């Protein structure tokens, strides 16, 4: 049986299981079980138990629930209100006005929460009513927030980068470093689009903000101090070599609880709600990772990844052509799977390809995150679209249409990354931890 027939069987079983509404993690386990049973002589039960335990007990993976818990705690604080009050005086004079608070707010919150959905809901619950009150165009409010929230996947601490690092056994801290510059560049591209739109569009006529003196703007900036301190502790402790990703995540949880207590928004109910929310999300991701690890092993026993890598090598695709194929592939698969599932499901096949092509795995982590970001705003499964629909009650078609410009900017970002790879590799290669000794 050749590799294409194997792929067809694997995909048929996967989509059959997903179509029944079964959880993604269990679907992956089911496909792997059938693959091992049908195409290998290995004892399936022993292999499955060992693989699931190994995938679930990784020390690196302990950073994941901690970063999720930090985001859950902050979601229940007044952080978004404080960010809006601190940012709006500085952003109002820019072309595009307070629409920029969506993008800058998402960029800041992304630095303390690795989740796109948490970023969207936290920033959106404050900015949407405020921007509507000031008569900003609805399509710009919806589109910029939906698109900018995807920065939660790239700017550290990114859950997707943690999962990618665990899957290919790469340094989480290096991947976090690699995500900083591309994340900031993408945020700048979003802001550039807003500025241009505000100048060329006929329906951009918001209520002007009252004038503020420089000293008043500085006074309002005090509301940004807590979140900036939290970012400094979490990200700084990792990059200066004082903490691993897991230890930095623990600092982040302590800092977020202290911030919530300082704002008097920490009660026993918010504490338990945040803990249970983090537990549910972490358990879901852990199950997906366990299923993907078993599927990767199953596919390895069938020889499928090696056969596909050899087939790609025979095609003699250039590095650029291979990346274009993978770009289209991930956009298509992102229409049906969430970002983390897309990464863990495909790495067993894709990793040998990129290594054979001489593509830097740290750089590829950022490439794949940008493409997975697109999946967050593409129907029918784009998770950010569902979150936004729940917040605004708009039709899915309206939200998807509003997000198209942001999707196109992300496509442009992929080409920027390809032609300027140093954007992702410079910091990991040149920034050595001060306390590394």
> What is the pLDDT at residue 248?
85
pLDDT tens digits for range 171-189: 888 898 899 899 999 999 9
What residue has token string 């490439």?
367
pLDDT band at 227 (very low <50, low <70, confident <90, very high): confident
Residue 338 confidence (pLDDT) above 70: no
> What is the pLDDT at residue 184?
92
In a domain, 12, yes or no: yes
Residue 327 contacts residue 64 (beta carbons within 8 Å): no
Instruction: Round to the nearest angstrom and report the end-to-end CA distance of the chain.
Output: 53
pLDDT tens digits for range 276-295: 988 887 887 778 778 877 87
In a domain, 436, yes or no: no
Domain that holds residue 53: 3-430
Residue 161 confidence (pLDDT) above 80: yes
Tell me: cis bond preceding 402? Omega within 30 of 0 counts: no
The pLDDT of 362-389, averaged and rounded, is 82
What number of CA atoms fall less than 13 Å from residue 346's CA on the CB side?
A: 21
In a domain, 368, yes or no: yes
> What is the pLDDT at residue 50?
82
In a domain, 269, yes or no: yes
The number of distinct structural domains making up the chain is 1
Can you tell me the distance from the alpha carbon of 139 to that of 142, in angstroms, rounded to the nearest whole number?
5
In a domain, 235, yes or no: yes
> What is the pLDDT at residue 433?
54
pLDDT band at 436 (very low <50, low <70, confident <90, very high): very low
Residue 20 confidence (pLDDT) above 70: yes
Can you tell me the distance from the alpha carbon of 3 to that of 26, in angstroms, rounded to the nearest whole number?
24
Residue 246 contacts residue 63 (beta carbons within 8 Å): yes
Residue 360 confidence (pLDDT) above 60: yes
Q: Which string of DSSP letters, residue by residue, matches 287-306? A: HHHHHHHHHHHHHHHHTHHH
Read off the pTM: 0.78
The pLDDT of 151-167, averaged and rounded, is 84
The pLDDT of 328-334, averaged and rounded, is 79
In a domain, 140, yes or no: yes
Across the chain, mean pLDDT equals: 82
> What is the pLDDT at residue 9?
76
203 against 321, higher pLDDT: 321
In a domain, 435, yes or no: no
Contacts of residue 423, defined as CB under 8 A and 6 or more positions apart, other chains included, come to 181, 182, 185, 416, 417
192 against 52, higher pLDDT: 192
Residue 158 confidence (pLDDT) above 60: yes
In a domain, 13, yes or no: yes
């Amino acid at each position: 049986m050749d590799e294409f027939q194997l792929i067809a069987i694997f995909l048929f079983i996967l989509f059959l299981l997903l179509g029944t509404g079964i959880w993604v993690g269990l679907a992956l386990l089911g496909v792997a079980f059938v693959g091992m049973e049908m195409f290998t002589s290995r004892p399936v039960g022993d292999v499955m138990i060992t693989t699931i335990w190994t995938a679930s007990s990784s020390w690196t993976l302990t950073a994941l629930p901690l970063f999720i818990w930090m985001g859950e705690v902050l979601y229940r604080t007044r952080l978004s209100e404080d960010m809006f009050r601190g940012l709006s005086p500085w952003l109002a004079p820019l072309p595009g006005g307070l629409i920029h608070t969506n993008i800058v707010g998402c960029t800041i919150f992304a630095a303390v929460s690795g989740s796109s959905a948490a970023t969207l809901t936290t920033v959106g619950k404050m900015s949407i009513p405020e921007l509507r009150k000031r008569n900003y165009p609805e399509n710009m409010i919806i589109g910029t927030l939906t698109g900018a929230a995807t920065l939660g996947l790239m700017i550290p601490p990114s859950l997707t980068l943690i999962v990618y690092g665990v899957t290919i056994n790469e340094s989480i801290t290096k991947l976090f470093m690699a995500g900083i510059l591309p994340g900031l560049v993408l945020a700048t591209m979003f802001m550039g689009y807003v500025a241009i739109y505000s100048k060329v569009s006929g329906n951009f006529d918001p209520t002007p903000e009252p004038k503020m003196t420089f000293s008043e703007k500085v006074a309002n900036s005090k509301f940004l101090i807590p979140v900036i301190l939290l970012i400094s502790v979490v990200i700084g402790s990792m990059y200066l070599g004082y903490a691993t990703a897991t230890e930095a995540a623990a600092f982040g949880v302590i800092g977020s609880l202290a911030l919530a207590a300082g704002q008097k928004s920490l009660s026993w109910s918010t504490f338990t709600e945040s803990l249970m929310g983090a537990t549910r999300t972490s358990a879901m991701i852990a199950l997906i990772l366990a299923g993907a690890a078993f599927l990767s092993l199953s596919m390895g026993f069938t020889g499928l990844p090696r056969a596909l890598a050899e087939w790609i090598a025979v095609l003699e695709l250039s590095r650029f052509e291979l990346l274009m194929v993978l770009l289209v592939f991930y956009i298509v698969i992102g229409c049906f799977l969430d970002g983390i599932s897309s990464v863990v499901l495909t790495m067993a096949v894709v990793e040998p390809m990129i290594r054979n092509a001489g593509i830097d795995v740290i750089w590829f982590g950022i490439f794949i995150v940008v493409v997975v970001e697109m999946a967050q705003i593409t129907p029918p499964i784009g998770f950010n679209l569902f979150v936004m629909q729940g917040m605004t009650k708009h039709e899915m078609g309206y939200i998807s249409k509003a997000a198209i410009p942001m999707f196109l900017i992300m496509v442009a970002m992929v080409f920027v990354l390809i032609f300027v790879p140093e954007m992702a590799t410079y910091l990991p290669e040149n920034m050595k931890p001060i306390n590394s000794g």
